[in-house]
Amino acid sequence: MKPGIGTEAAFEGLNLQRLGTLINLDLLWNPSCLEQRLKDKTALVSGAARGIGEAIARAFVAEGAFVYLTDTDDTAGTAVAATLGPLARYCRLDVRLEADWQRVTEQILAEHGVLHIVVHNAGITGLEDGNQVHDPGGSGRGHCIAVDSSIDGCRRCGVGGPASGW
């Protein structure tokens, strides 16, 4: 057993050599050996001030990407970006507004020259204002965020086109 794991009992009876062929066990002892699969990539993650978006942003930074965390909650977004260090920056982005997409995309391209990854995570539950009746058919605010803004964002960011560097 390598020193420093602190939970040797958790691995008692496991064939670590066989298990090591399935996962990179070195990460348990040395997190600095991450593969950096996203090194030198630039990413935009919407809805990154909390929850799944925050987790995605953290994972991308850990893999070496420069991440633009975007959200409409400026306080939370700025705080999360600050914890991620020099590979992260917060930008306000209301995914429903094409002007916001244009502003953020232009900023990213001016600062990095390319946008490799767009994660459209922003969304709403429909219950932010309490337990109300809402239209599951998609004519309300949730539909706008889930469908319309995804299309606007992909078009504005040039996903698969020149702005993406592909």
Bigger pLDDT: 161 vs 40:
40
pLDDT confidence bin for 122, thresholds 50/70/90: confident
**What is the reported pTM?**
0.65
Rounded Cα gap, residues 71 and 121, in angstroms: 10
Rounded Cα gap, residues 35 and 37, in angstroms: 5
Based on the number of CB atoms within 10 Å of its own CB, is 120 exposed (0-12), middle (13-18) or buried (19 or more)? buried
- At residue 86, the pLDDT reads 97
Rounded Cα gap, residues 24 and 81, in angstroms: 28
Q: What is the tens place of the pLDDT at every residue in 17-75?
A: 444 444 444 444 455 555 688 999 999 999 999 999 999 999 999 999 999 999 999 99
Q: Which CATH architecture has domain 38-125+133-164?
A: 3-Layer(aba) Sandwich (3.40)
Angle at 104 (CA atoms; ends 99, 110), nearest 5 degrees? 125
Bigger pLDDT: 123 vs 165:
123
pLDDT confidence bin for 96, thresholds 50/70/90: confident
pLDDT at 80 over 90: yes
Contact (Cβ atoms closer than 8 angstroms) between residue 129 and residue 80? no
Sequence spans of domains, the chain: 38-125+133-164
